[in-house]
Structure 1
Amino acid sequence: MKKTIIAVLVSGSVALTGCQTTNPYTGEAEYNKTSKYGGIGALTGAVIGALANGKDGALAGAAIGAAAGSGWGYYVDRQEDALREHLRGTGVRVVRNGDQLSLIMPGNITFNTDSYDIQAGFYRTLNSVGMVLREFDQTIIEVAGHTDSTGAHTYNMQLSDKRARSVASYLINQGVMANRVRPVGYGPDRPIASNSNSQGRAQNRRVEINLYAVEGVQYR
């Protein structure tokens, strides 16, 4: 049995080390995320299965573990690829942090100053976002409005909320189910850059779309 466990672990390790690719957007080396999740799941499942049922348990555990490990990760992989493809060159950043995806939409391409009416030139980009969100319909969508710290806090909170609701309403009108969409305004309370200079303030004025898993869903 020990030999079986070692063999599965070695083969799984080889699979993990062989999954390194170059990210076409950043030029950096990275591991294929789906293979990584599946490989880790396989290793874990193999060990547990082998301890319980010997050789056959190791093989069965590896298969089950691989499937479980790649579920949400694989779903995020595919959604990320689709978003990057459709949003390339639009000014919208697709950011992945672990298994969370975020779309960062700079304020200068979404709204005019002190306005919560979406710029007409941004409709096409939101149409692309809506198309992908309709296809990948097993996520919760947080539409978050953010401002810089200039002006009254109360005003900024209200403006960020109205901007979030404008984007959320547009996506719903594009066919995204309303029960998936949660608009929220954070005002100046969650800056991503310094508010002490114009460049930082420009970065803080933004709308983010954050995508989360739905509890209890079996992702494939």
Structure 2
Amino acid sequence: MNIQRNLVTAAVLSTLLAACATQGGGYYGSTPPPPQQQPQPEPEQAGMSKTKKGAWIGAAVGVAAGLLSGGDATERRQRALVGAGVGALAGGAIGNYQDRQERALRERMAGTGVGVVRQGDNITLSMPGNVTFAFNDASVQSQFYPVLDDVARTLTEYNQTVVEVAGHTDNLGSDAYNQDLSVRRANSVAAYLASHGVMQQRLITVGAGELHPIASNATDEGRAQNRRVEITLVPVKG
């Protein structure tokens, strides 16, 4: 009887020890191994996906570059205009004035290919180079005269603004050539506006060359968008 009892006890102990080894990875009372570390996401995965980043970048560069000549140049021109008798705007009158001018420009530029962008109190007109100029030329094409006539008419109606005319190019050709071409194109547009009633004192011209693309220069379509002239209207503030 004692022999049978001992055999049963041994069998039970053997079964219990086997169960502990299976469930705990070791015998009862031993320290289990640390859990396996999960792979951490790469920085690209942890943040925005490439698709989202591409969409964000596309939205950002789709906005016109806006004022390029700098605050000091604009302030000097504003003071000169006030000295010349152009009334300065202040407070809520600024936003209301630009609201009305923006509305007039959107109506007159509709269907012309000219984009109208509002950034705070500034308004920028983006004029595509393929309709404004012939290829590799700085003379305004005659078919674009009616559009510039409407721009000039609006600027003379709303004369309490500084007018910056900025030329832009794609990245084909040398930096120096593109810079020169952008300056000549800006000067051509500014000269046309001045000849149609816009005060010379209001005009600032600047060439940006290829430094401010609004689309990829890797495609013909993108380069066409980057060849442009932008006119930015800054209110004269008191």
Which range, TM-score by smaller chain? 0.5 to 0.7
Q: How does 1:75-154 map onto structure 2 within 5 Å?
A: 75-154=97-176
Partner of 2:196: 174
Coordinate RMSD, CA, aligned: 1.3
| In structure 2, C-alpha distance between the alignment counterparts of 1:69 and 1:135, rounded to whole Å | 21
Kindly provide the CA deviation profile for residues 138-162 of structure 1, in whole angstroms up to 9, marking residues without a partner as x: 0000000000010011000000000
Code of the residue aligned with 1:187 in structure 2: it is G
Q: Partner of 2:95 in structure 1?
A: 73
Runs of 4+ in 1 over 6 A off after TM superposition: none
Inter-partner Cα distance in structure 1 for 2:130 and 2:221: 12
CA-CA distance at 1:100 after TM superposition: 1.2
- SS of residue in 2 equivalent to 1:151: coil
Deviations 1:60-113 (A, max 9, x none): xxxxxxxx6521000000000111111111111111112210001001110011
Task: For residues 156-215 of structure 1, give each alpha carbon's deviation from its aligned partner in whole angstroms, at most 9, with x where no partner exists.
Answer: 000000000000000000010000001111000111111111121111000000011223
Q: What is aligned with 1:203?
A: 225
Partner of residue 35, structure 1: none
Q: Which amino acid aligns with 2:124?
A: S
The count of aligned residue pairs is 150
User: Is the partner of 2:208 in helix, strand or coil?
Assistant: strand
Look up the match of 1:37.
Answer: none
Q: Percent identity?
A: 54
d(CA) in 2 for partners of 1:88, 1:191: 23
Counterpart in 2 of 1:24? none
Q: Secondary structure at the match of 2:162?
A: strand
Could you tell me which amino acid in structure 1 is paired with residue 197 of structure 2? G
Structure 2 distance, partners of 1:184, 1:147, is 12
How far apart, CA to CA, are the structure 1 residues paired with 2:155 and 2:166?
A: 16
Match of residue 194 from structure 1: 216
1:11 paired residue number: none
- By relative contact order (CA 8 Å, sep 6+), the higher-ranking structure is 2
3-state SS, counterpart of residue 207 of structure 2: strand
Structure with the higher fraction of residues in helix conformation: 1
Partner of 1:187, secondary structure, is coil
Distance (Å, rounded) in 2 between the aligned partners of 1:200 and 1:91: 15
Aligned counterpart, 1:10 = none
State how far apart, in whole Å, the 1-side matches of 2:112 and 2:208 are.
24
